[in-house]
Chains A and B, each alone.
Chain A
């Protein structure tokens, strides 16, 4: 069953960066893109466990800081031949980040 989780304020995440949240025992990296949209992915790089929230992003991809493999922010698919990561619906309501999982 899916539940909604209030995970914090949008202002906790600087524009163009990501932060990690622990939600219901899962590690979620939430990114605030430069066009204002929000994306949420599993926080752990499936390659070698790198912290994806520390990666650089654009409107399409996040690049893991350890070995520079890239994942599509919308689908979680790898752009460089690795396993996919999970993506989660996330939205902002009254500046609050709301994640569904």
Chain B
């Protein structure tokens, strides 16, 4: 396999060689790993061939199948084959692989006749065929060896024979890849799921039976009856020809970092027979790495290509059980961390070994779901989650871990803006390697934001491991190079009361994408003193309505606590009729939405409604959703509607870093969904109220953290104001409470807001009072436009095909 792979890699690089291949098996190249499937009868022989004979002829390769090389003449650069031919070479690649190792067991061999009839090794297609033929006519098998190969052999044989026993000389299965607990878990799984008997600590000393096999004898005297024995006790590299031809051979044929045999100019070694920096590799991934390096070097595609050894990380299905293993099996130093989870009844075992914050080993048995993540963390030394349980389990949260390398190029990463992995990688390749830069250029992660962590990982991957440093990531807005606290200090210091003055003093150039965030901040800081430059506002805030896809707007009148009256409903209905409103819709925040209003009609619609704005368009306090509460509900324990109305009455229209959606629910049944709001209030029995903060149920779903339990609606109103003010002053632009609360920490927030640990509560309350006092219904701004053409249409005045026109 390693030899043929090397040839494939050479061809792929356009290598200009006349290639001759010798192999002592009479076939082309087949996938040895699949032999256990052939044995198990789940794969056809034909299905395991990687390159059939026509591949060799199509690629101009001369194949001598079934012909062994006996000797290499290094001096004259000729190989001599068993069929008496001599073939000269310029470059020689040795990929002789390995053979089954049979320990010295009495009775395994019949003198002069090779293996005892009924004794098999498990290495080649011929071995496999012979085993199947023989097993079909017999009853009981013993497999000697409890490594990967032995387990696979036992699973395969089980399809042909009713009784299979696996005998392993060591104390637990797969001791190279698993620790003792993991090995024990695997043993139980193999016994219970597959019905294979497993004996550990069983050194086989003898195979009994004179003409036919009758059993195996163990060192402790036990005798296990059987009529077939399979020896799967390991492999040994095939180095004989190399050694006899004078190459340096230790355990394998010794090679350098270019896979060149030690001291040779033109002889290379690849695969299981190669010994690199003292290591032999028997798994497929390292062999592929070696083949790539060798091909790079031979073809000149990259003369500097070097093999540095492989981290052994494997993910396998062993006898039907998922197993993954990498690095250390157990902690070695006193301060190594061991994270371990065992559920023996289900056949699940997981462990991870951490040293200095890096993953240095991991084992999974029975559940491979975290394998890709662990292998990546192990290979690249990635930073690990603080919550170590996240190493072994998917704990939910934004964006599931997915191996970026495994993702298809055209897979959609950002489902809001339709951005593929390929598009992101393209931007990185064009030289933009910061996460925010890529997001700006592609719009990936700029919709609901759920995919941002994945976008970051793709940028890191495409940039070879790390994203470029992006100082702007900490700025409050991209156009002014300061985090929020510094920016606020500077604004106060220089008395900057307009957005243009902030740019002039602190930012240099005006930046369209920073205006809205600055306008919000200045309004919050200066209140009535804020110098309101209308161009700093987003269109929604210029016209107090939410822009829709066709350039029309939606109008949502205030409906405090979701409570309305027949008179108000009639008026809304009349307005909708009079203006031919295309759609009337109930919102998630318990209000009524009039959709499809042209900009120029907004003032008239507001005038006809004569209701206050519901602020369904701003980064501001939005609504308070309520349930019917104790007035009518049989279960209500608190008057949620009255409290909801009181809260909305007081905090209506307050702007902030992100929108603020609230709810009050009259009992823990939570009909108003208070647990998933920026601030949610829950009445509990005994006249008390719980206040939850930082909840969300949008693109991101999070249950809020309990801030406090208080005794009266008045206290709820007070703490609500104080919490919102603390958020307004400290949250980053567009950072919703579901991100801000966990970032700051609920303990810290509780200390400030509830316990006044920093002595700032009075100040927070006073500043919120001022903001509340400054409230003015924006829909009153309708008699005269504030700016010329404030409500003039921006829609095409002639119909253009690009713009969908609503019926």
Query: A19 is contacted by which of B443, B533, B792 (Cβ under 8 Å)?
Result: B792
| Pairwise interchain contact B515-A20, C-beta atoms closer than 8 A | no
- Structural contact, A59 and B443, CB atoms closer than 8 A: no
Q: A74 to B430: give the CA distance in the assembly, Å.
A: 23
B446 at the interface (CB under 8 A from A): yes
B509 and A12 contact, CB distance less than 8 A = no
Chain B 513-556 interface mask (CB, 8 Å, partner A; 1/0): 10110000000000000000111101110100001011100000
Q: A49-B803, A51-B794 are in contact. Are A67 and B417 (CB under 8 A)?
A: yes
Contacts A49-B550, A56-B535 hold; do A20 and B512 have CB atoms under 8 A apart?
no
Smallest beta-carbon distance B477→chain A, Å: 12
B764-807 contact mask (Cβ, 8 Å, vs A): 1 or 0: 00000000000000000000000111001111111010111000
Q: Which residues from B are CB-within-8-Å of A46?
A: 802
Is A90 an interface residue when CB atoms closer than 8 A count as contact? no
19 A-B residue pairings within 8 Å (CB atoms): A12-B788, A16-B535, A16-B536, A17-B542, A20-B792, A20-B796, A20-B797, A22-B798, A43-B794, A48-B549, A50-B549, A51-B551, A51-B794, A52-B794, A56-B535, A56-B539, A59-B510, A69-B443, A79-B440
From B500, B794, B803, contact of A53 by CB (8 A): B794
Closest B residue by C-beta to A16 = B535
By secondary structure, the A interface counts as loop
A7 within 8 A of B: no
Q: A11-B788, A44-B802 are in contact. Are A63 and B513 (CB under 8 A)?
A: yes
Chain A residue at minimal CB-CB distance from B793: A20
**A1-29: which have CB < 8 Å to B?**
11-20, 22, 25, 27, 29
Q: Considering only CB atoms, which chain B residue lies closest to A18 in the complex?
A: B794
Check A22 against B535 for contact (C-beta < 8 Å): no
Query: A57, A58, A61, A63 — which one has the most chain B CB atoms within 10 A of its CB?
Result: A58
Bound-state CA distance A19–B791 (Å) is: 10
Residue of B nearest to A52 (CB): B794
Residue of A nearest to B786 (CB): A14
Interface residues of B in 300-319 (CB under 8 A from A): none
Q: Within 8 Å of chain A (Cβ to Cβ): is B511? A: yes
Contact check, B512 vs A44: say whether CB atoms are below 8 A apart.
Answer: no
Q: Does B37 have its Cβ within 8 Å of any Cβ on chain A? A: no
A49 near B536 with CB under 8 A, answer no
User: Which residue of A has the minimal Cβ distance to B799?
Assistant: A27
Sample of 14 more A-B contacts, CB < 8 Å, known A52-B794, A65-B539, A66-B547: A13-B789, A14-B789, A19-B794, A22-B796, A44-B796, A49-B800, A54-B547, A56-B538, A63-B513, A65-B540, A68-B513, A81-B423, A81-B441, A81-B442
Write the nearest CB–CB distance from A11 to chain B, whole angstroms.
6
Given contacts A43-B794, A67-B417, contact A13 B512 (CB under 8 A): no
Q: Complex formed: what's the CA distance from A12 to B509 in Å?
A: 25
A62 at the interface (CB under 8 A from B): yes
Flag if A44 contacts B803 (CB, 8 Å).
yes
Cβ contact of B512, chosen from A54, A58, A80, cutoff 8 A: A58
A25 CB, min distance to chain B CBs, angstroms: 6
Q: Which residues of chain A come closer than 8 Å to B550, judged between CB atoms?
A: 49
Q: Are B800 and A27 in contact (CB under 8 A)?
A: yes
Residue of B nearest to A32 (CB): B535
A contacts with B, residue count (CB < 8 A): 43
User: Does A34 lie within 8 Å of B795, measured CB to CB?
Assistant: no
Bound-complex Cα distance A27 to B112 (A): 97
Name the distance in Å between A90's Cβ and chain B's nearest Cβ. Answer: 17
Find A25's partner among B446, B539, B798 (CB 8 Å cutoff): B798
Contact with A along B649-662 (1 / 0, CB 8 A): 00000000000000
Which among A14, A56, A65 is the interface contact of B787 at CB below 8 angstroms? A14
Residues of A within 8 A of B797 (CB): 20, 22, 27
Q: A20-B793, A43-B794 are in contact. Are A15 and B535 (CB under 8 A)?
A: yes
B796 and chain A: residue at smallest CB distance: A27
Say yes or no for A70: interface residue by CB 8 A criterion: yes
A27–B797 Cα gap in the complex (Å)?
7
Q: Give the size of the chain B interface in residues (CB under 8 angstroms).
A: 41
Q: Do A58 and B510 contact each other (CB < 8 Å), given the known contacts A34-B500, A44-B800? A: yes
What residues on A are CB-neighbors of B794 within 8 Å? 18-20, 29, 43, 51-54
Q: Are B796 and A56 in contact (CB under 8 A)?
A: no
B551 touches A54 (CB 8 A): yes
How far apart are the CA atoms of A53 and B446 in the complex, in Å? 22
Question: Is the Cβ of B789 less than 8 Å from the Cβ of A12?
Answer: yes
Q: Which residue numbers of A lie inside 8 Å of B, CB to CB?
A: 11-20, 22, 25, 27, 29, 34, 43-44, 46, 48-63, 65-70, 79-81
CB B598 to nearest CB in A, in angstroms, measures 11
Q: Which residues of B contact A66 (CB under 8 A)?
A: 547, 549
A68–B795 Cα distance when bound, in Å, is 17
Asked whether B787 lies within 8 Å of A80 as measured between CB atoms, the reply is: no
Measured CB to CB, the closest approach of chain A to B401, in angstroms, equals: 28
Given the known A-B contacts A27-B796, A34-B535, A80-B443, are A62 and B547 also in contact in the complex, defined by CB atoms under 8 Å?
Answer: no
Contact assessment for A49 and B788 in the assembled complex, using a CB-CB cutoff below 8 Å: no
A80:B535 contact, CB within 8 angstroms = no
Residues of B within 8 A of A49 (CB): 550-551, 800, 802-804
Task: Decide yes or no: A51 and B795 within 8 Å by CB, A58-B509, A81-B442 being known contacts.
Answer: yes
CB-nearest residue of chain A to B439: A80
Q: Smallest CB–CB gap between B434 and chain A, Å?
A: 15
- Taking CB atoms, residues of chain A closer than 8 Å to B798 are 22, 25, 27
The interface residues of chain A lying within 8 Å CB-to-CB of B793 are: 20
| Smallest CB separation, B292 vs chain A (Å) | 34
Contacts A49-B802, A54-B551 given: A16-B796 contact, CB under 8 Å? no
Are B441 and A80 in contact, with the CB atoms below 8 A? yes
Rounded to whole angstroms, the CA-CA distance of A25 and B802 in the bound complex is 14
Please report the C-alpha to C-alpha distance between residue A52 and residue B795 in the assembled complex, in whole angstroms: 9
Which chain B residues border A29 with CB–CB below 8 Å?
794
A27 to B795, CA, bound (A): 9
Q: Roughly how many angstroms separate A66 CA and B552 CA in the complex, as a whole number? A: 11
**What's the least CB distance linking A13 to chain B, in Å?**
7
Complex Cα distance A69/B419, Å? 13
A14-B516 in contact given A20-B797, A80-B440 (Cβ < 8 Å): no
Q: A43-B796, A58-B511 are in contact. Are A14 and B534 (CB under 8 A)?
A: yes
Residue of A nearest to B479 (CB): A58
B10-30 near A? 1/0 per residue, CB < 8 Å: 000000000000000000000
Q: Which of B533, B539, B547 contacts A16 (CB 8 A)?
A: B533
* Closest A residue to B803 using CB positions: A49
In the complex the two chains form, what is the Cα distance from A64 to B426 in whole Å?
24
A69 to B441, CA, bound (A): 9
CB <8 Å contact, B535 and A62: no
With beta carbons under 8 angstroms apart, the residue of B443, B516, B534 that contacts A17 is: B534
B800 touching A19, Cβ below 8 Å: no
Which residues of B are found within 8 Å of A53, using beta-carbon distances? 794
CA A79 – CA B76 in complex, angstroms? 64
Q: Give chain A residues whose Cβ lies under 8 Å from the Cβ of B800.
A: 27, 44, 49
**B803 near A80 (CB under 8 angstroms)?**
no
In the assembled complex, the Cα of A19 lies from the Cα of B787 at a distance in Å of 11
| Cα A20 to Cα B798 with chains together (Å) | 11
Evaluate whether A17 and B535 lie within 8 angstroms (CB atoms) in the complex, with A54-B794, A56-B516, A70-B512 already known. yes
Distance (whole angstroms) from the CB of A89 to the closest CB of chain B: 21
Closest 3 CB pairs of A and B: A16-B535, A51-B794, A53-B794
Give Cα distance in the complex from A15 to B500, angstroms: 11
When the two chains form their complex, are residues B536 and A68 in contact, meaning their CB atoms are under 8 A apart?
no
